[in-house]
Structure 1
Amino acid sequence: MSITLALAEELIARASVTPNDAGCQALIATRLKQVGFVCETITAGETTNLWAVRRGAAAEAGKLLVFAGHTDVVPPGPLHEWLSPPFTPTQRDGTLYGRGAVDMKTSLAAFVVAAEEFVAAHPTHTGSLAFLLTSDEEGPATDGTVKVVEHLQTRGERLDYCIVGEPTSGKQLGDTLKNGRRGSLSGTLTVFGRQGHIAYPQCNPVHLLAPVLAQLVATEWDRGNEYFPPTSWQISNIHAGVGATNVTPGEVIVDFNFRFSTASTADTLKQRVHAMLDAHGLKEGQEYTLDWQLSGEPFLTPSGALSNALMQAIQHETGVQAKLSTTGGTSDGRFIARICDQVIEFGPSNESIHQINESIPLNHIEPLKNIYFRVLTQLII
């Protein structure tokens, strides 16, 4: 059994359902300390965070590369649907099964072993290497990476490169790198009317909303750019009425979400929505209220040293030509981008993430570790 596989199984065996770390970071810190890392635990609420750094021989002039990820996993779901217990790592038909196998404990194991091998091969490396780990990525993400980033900001810490070990690959290991993510802006719009008998309609809020809704659906918010698709506005829920067929509703509530690119900002999107409501004669505080929640700003890393190093390493190990992508939901990369100009997500296949019988092919594990190792030799040796 390879060292990477053994560590991945040891991590999977720890039932670290968010925000419980279940000792994963302590295990990782113990190994990192043995190869010269200084480890710092940063707790917030129920969340455990780890910041570990090994400074290079020329740390003042050398670059700092960070491996970032999360030790928490989503709940396993119905246990009877798993072919083997979710927190008992199981090898079957050339595949490793277990909750967190791809999201993202195998990446963490590959990070650690790559770092161990790199330090052994290059003990006097000039650049620096760090780990930023949290147990709050699968939860609300309020006490995890964002808190560590704030902590590092107060110390004036800047990162040069960051690899987030999220599962980004599709059919083949290494076919996709995420060099950015769209932002997420949600809103809850409540339009007020007057409840009454449907035969004597007073003021139906659904009718007040309808023309605005049509405009919101038809609007081109932006055209995207080289890296991002156009910004998308989508409804997730609409609720109105009391359940009777002869009563007009007193209000209608619409939950919606913008997944927006760097071609727009949260503030401009808010302003445009309010302008549409105003143009249809709806007054804020009287005919409607609108509550906003910004859960993530978009971030983008254009092609550069980090993406090129990853692509070259992937090509060497797998023969696959990686492509850049910004699809998918939000990630902790949005926080790290505040203090790091180059943030790239790369990890194993995302086909089974959050699913029953989450799994990773065994023959992907060593190449994943080797890719991380090769990037280190290119960027911080």
Structure 2
Amino acid sequence: MKLTDPTQTLAALIRCPSVTPEEGGALTTLGDMLGQLGFTNDRVTFSEEGTADVENLYSRLGSSGPHLMFAGHTDVVPVGDKEAWTQGPFSAEIVDGEMYGRGAVDMKGGIACFVSALARYIERRGAPEGSVSLLITGDEEGPSVNGTEKLLGYAKTKGEQWDAAVVGEPTNPEQMGDMIKIGRRGSLSGTLTVEGIQGHVAYPHLADNPLRGLIKLADALLDPPLDAGNERFPPSNLEITSIDTGNAATNVIPARTTARFNIRFNDIWTAESLANELRSRLERAAGEAGLRPGRGPVRYSVEFDARSSPSFLTRDNALIEALSDAVAEATGKTPALSTTGGTSDARFIKDYCPVVEFGLVGKTMHMVDERVALSDLESLTGIYELFIERWFERRASETEAR
């Protein structure tokens, strides 16, 4: 295999059926590639009751600083309807200049391009004057319990420290060079339960329909808007994602109803302050006059998931500028600096070092016929190689200036 060719490195990874939590040979294949480049590999499996064991990989080249980390995941989502794929989901077939396969853009493609960028860098310049590591999990598409968060902690106990990190998630919405993620909104989920009195719909005075109360409380969660956003983040947004009574009958008023919701929030809030705001809204709404005369306050409870994700914003200008300059040089475009989208494993990495995200175009991620243009693989490999060069140059200049 020619490691400087991202088409070959990606094909080798796609052919590993690594659907979460199965390793599928992907970490072994990646470790072999990195070993050829001089990296030292550390494979570690993490476990937790109620979840599947997950294999992870930490690889490092070099023993001194500065230390650049590339982070990502080799696990992929299920293929869905296999018969709907025009090419085998793990075949890495190339049709009309595109490679098909689960993980092509999310995110085996990003990993393959970084490996090829390193191979080119080493071939042309030798190893960087410092260290490069890859922190790769098999648990990003799953519960994210036995992956990046634990691997970071494990590596730290071994004495690992990082100066900056890049996560290779697909960040570009339309074309290569569109967008760098310099932060992420937080995520908080909750469950609202409203209690009523079950009864016959023909005798509503003998019952108390909890859906009436739920409508009132849900409206309080949604209005007024949580905030108007700020310079770096869009407005925080709450969505009701399900309402369930467990009632299949049309002539029965249910005894209880439950609504689940999720908020993607900006750095105006913490998970704690946001939860407190929502509790206050619910309490006020529950105590107001009911939808039916003569009823008392709405009886409800609300619980928030313990595993919330904080919002964060990276302010390391040297890291952001090194990547932005590389994108501009390779593509001729000035990338937008964004905090949009869902959560990623960057939420764990930001506690250890500054982190940004940049990868492929994400249009087909998780879809049937997930695929990537070969031209985009070449583009991203070039960007990563330039970034590695720019980042180490900046660090060397900073050291000389001290």
TM-score by shorter chain over 0.5: yes
Deviation (angstroms), 1:24: 1.5
Aligned to 1:98: 101
Given the alignment, which residue of 94, 110, 114 partners 1:111? 114
Picking from 110, 127, 130, the partner of 1:127 is 130
Selected match of 2:143 from 134, 140, 145: 140
In structure 1, the residue matched to 2:244 is 239
Which digits, 9 at most, give the CA deviation of each residue in 1:230-265, with x for residues without a partner?
A: 111110111236333332221111111111111101
Match of 2:389 in 1: 377
- Counterpart in 1 of 2:207? 202
SS at match of 1:360: strand
Higher mean C-alpha deviation, range 307-316 or range 257-266: 307-316
Looking at structure 1, the residues matched to 245 and 376 of structure 2 have their Cα atoms a distance apart, in angstroms, of 50
Q: CA deviation at 1:71?
A: 0.5
Q: CA deviation at 1:147?
A: 0.9
Shift of 1:183: 1.2
Cα offset for 1:346? 0.7
CA contact under 8 A between 1:170 and 1:351: conserved in structure 2? yes
Are the counterparts in 2 of residues 167 and 350 from structure 1 also a CA contact under 8 Å?
yes
What are the within-5 Å matches in structure 2 for residues 249-328 of structure 1? 249-281=254-286, 287-293=299-305, 294-302=307-315, 304-328=317-341
Runs in 1 of length 4+ with deviation above 6 angstroms? Answer: none
Out of 187-196 and 300-309, give the one that drifted further. Answer: 300-309
For the structure 1 residues 245 and 32, does the alpha-carbon distance in structure 2 shift closer, same or farther, using more than 3 Å as the test? closer
1:227 corresponds to 2:232? yes
Between 187-196 and 238-247, report the one with greater CA deviation.
238-247
* Aligned partner letter, 1:314: V
Query: CA RMSD for the aligned pairs?
Result: 1.9
* Gap regions ≥5 residues in structure 2: 48-52, 288-297, 394-402
Seen in structure 2, the aligned counterparts of structure 1 residues 26 and 244 have a Cα distance that, compared at 3 Å, is closer
| Letter in structure 2 aligned against 1:174 | G
How much has 1:303 moved relative to structure 2?
A: 6.0
Give the SS at the match of 2:304. strand
Equivalent residue for 1:364, pick from 376, 391, 394: 376
8 A Cα contact 1:4 1:113, kept in partner: yes
Identity %: 40
Determine if contact 1:164/1:333 at 8 Å carries over to the other structure: yes
Q: 2:10 aligns with which of 8, 12, 16?
A: 8
**Aligned partner letter, 2:351:** R
Q: In the alignment, residue 310 of structure 1 is paired with which amino acid?
A: L
Instruction: Supply the distance in 2 between the matched residues of 1:194 and 1:124 (Cα, whole angstroms).
Output: 71
Q: Deviations over 1:278-312 (max 9, x none)?
A: 23456xxx932222113422222136112211111
Larger deviation, residues 348-357 vs 291-300: 291-300
2:222 is aligned with 1:213: no
Deviation at 1:25, TM superposition (A): 1.5
Mapping of residues 143-222 of structure 1, within 5 Å: 143-155=146-158, 157-198=160-201, 199=203, 200-222=205-227
- 8 A contact 1:98–1:358 mirrored in 2: yes
2:41 counterpart of 1:39: yes
Q: What is the rounded CA distance, in whole Å, between the counterparts of 2:7 and 2:247 in structure 1?
A: 56
* Structure-2 change in CA distance of 1:156 and 1:276 (3 Å): farther
Distance 2:243 2:230 in 1: 31
Please give the secondary structure, in 1, of the residue aligned with 2:27: helix
**Larger deviation, residues 42-51 vs 8-17:** 42-51
Report the CA distance shift for 1:304/1:281 in structure 2 as closer, same or farther (over 3 A): same
Structure 1 position 54 matched with structure 2 position 61:
yes
**3-state SS of the aligned residue for 1:220?**
coil
Secondary structure, in 3 states, of the residue corresponding to 1:273? Answer: helix
Gaps of 5+ in 1: none
Aligned partner letter, 2:365? I
User: 1:52 is matched by which residue type in structure 2?
Assistant: S
Alignment TM-score, normalising by the size of structure 1 = 0.92
Partner SS for 1:142: coil
Q: Counterpart of 1:350?
A: 362
State whether residues 12 and 29 of structure 2, in contact with CA within 8 Å, keep that contact through their aligned partners in structure 1: no
Separation (CA, whole Å) in 1 of partners of 2:6 and 2:213: 60
Aligned residues: 373
CA distance in 1, matches of 2:340, 2:169: 13
Question: Which one is further off, 30-39 or 76-85?
Answer: 30-39
SS of the residue corresponding to residue 103 of structure 1 reads coil
Give the whole-Å Cα distance in 1 for the aligned partners of 2:318 and 2:194.
50
Calculate the TM-score normalised by the size of structure 2: 0.88
Secondary structure of the equivalent of 2:107? helix
Q: Which position in structure 1 is the counterpart of 2:28?
A: 26
